[in-house]
Amino acid sequence: MATAEFEKTDILKLADQDGQFRRKVSQFRNFISSDPSSPFPAEKDRYVVYINLGCPWAHRVNILLHLKGLTSVIPIIIVDCQLVPNGWSFTGDDYSATADPLYGFKYLRDLYLKADLEYTGRYTVPCLWDKKNETIISNESSEILRMLYSEFDAFVPEDRRESVKPLLPKHLQKEIEEMNEWVYNTVNNGVYKTGFATTQEAYDEHLHVLFASLDRLEKHLEQPGHSPFLFGEHITEADIRLFTTMIRFDAAYVTIFKCNLKMIRYEYPRLHDWLRRVYWDEGEESNCGAFKKTTHFDCAPNAIIPAGPLHNILLP
């Protein structure tokens, strides 16, 4: 494809002119259904998901596939962790293939343009691809997360199905969705609003909102019924969505994104305990360590892995 076709989007431009980082709405919003007559029915080996191991949004989907035992149903294709001007690439580094195994592409952007030649958005992961129709189902992590565990239940081992061990129990659905909303806006995306701000005003605004929400999470974990996981005895969707930000907080966001008012390991004892518990759980609740085995501290910008901070938050 001609170089000119890729000059529509400056993928490295982050903040708007007022200094605020505003995440763009994902443009591919199809939905896989368990209904065999739907345009995109749940089927084995029809779909693949593109991720990079360092991305918190892609990490959500990686956890889910391991947690539910779906990695043999929906294969994972890994791109390099280093973002270059042409977007995510296949280099053979950071566990990635040397080329896209489906089409031989060198860049994820080629896949986006195969789905829509007029596409002008960002080339993001996770990206759920339909091999049959050769199109992108979705590049919105929260929607991919939910469709995988709700619509592929028939492919999940019986003891991990939603009817047995739900990630979104009906009696907790309202509370979980309310938490998902404010955690996304102020924590998951809040670290980016803070770190990508280009004015002092924007930085100050989002930094204090972020830490107010961390304070709120700490108080949530103090309440009866909110341990050992966010909503009691079992892992829910809320734990997955929060974990991928918290596991990166002290090691990355405190320094790189200047989210440095407090650290999880020192100022948030209950949140710290929750994080360690989720990470180290290698029992039935996490399907033998779905959180730990999908966390890769060896994927870092410029391949330089930070030595600190001390002490290690992940010591059992």
Q: Which residues are annotated as a binding site?
A: 88, 122-125, 140-141
Three-class DSSP category at 254: helix
User: Is 55 marked active-site?
Assistant: yes
Q: At residue 305, what is the residue type? A: I
Length of the chain, in residues: 316
- Tokens standing for residue 11: 């993928």
Structure tokens at 316: 């059992």
Q: Which two tokens stand for residue 284?
A: 């039935």
- Omega of the bond leading into 309 within 30 degrees of 0 (cis): yes
- Looking at 47, 107, 112, 192, which residue is catalytic? 192
Smallest CA-to-CA distance from 64 within 139, 141, 125, 149 is with 149
Treating both helix axes as pointing N-terminal to C-terminal, what angle do 141-151 and 56-67 enclose, rounded to 10 degrees? 10
Pairing of strands 135-138, 127-130: antiparallel
Q: Does 126 sit behind a cis peptide bond, omega within 30 degrees of 0 on the bond before it?
A: yes
The single residue of 55, 81, 259, 299 carrying the catalytic annotation is: 55
Could you tell me which residues are beta bridge partners of residue 41? 33
**Catalytic residue check, 253:** no
Sheet holding 47-51, edge to edge: 76-78, 47-51, 127-130, 135-138
List the binding residues for glutathione: 88, 122-125, 140-141
Chain centroid offset of residue 243 CA:
9
Residues classed as catalytic: 55, 192
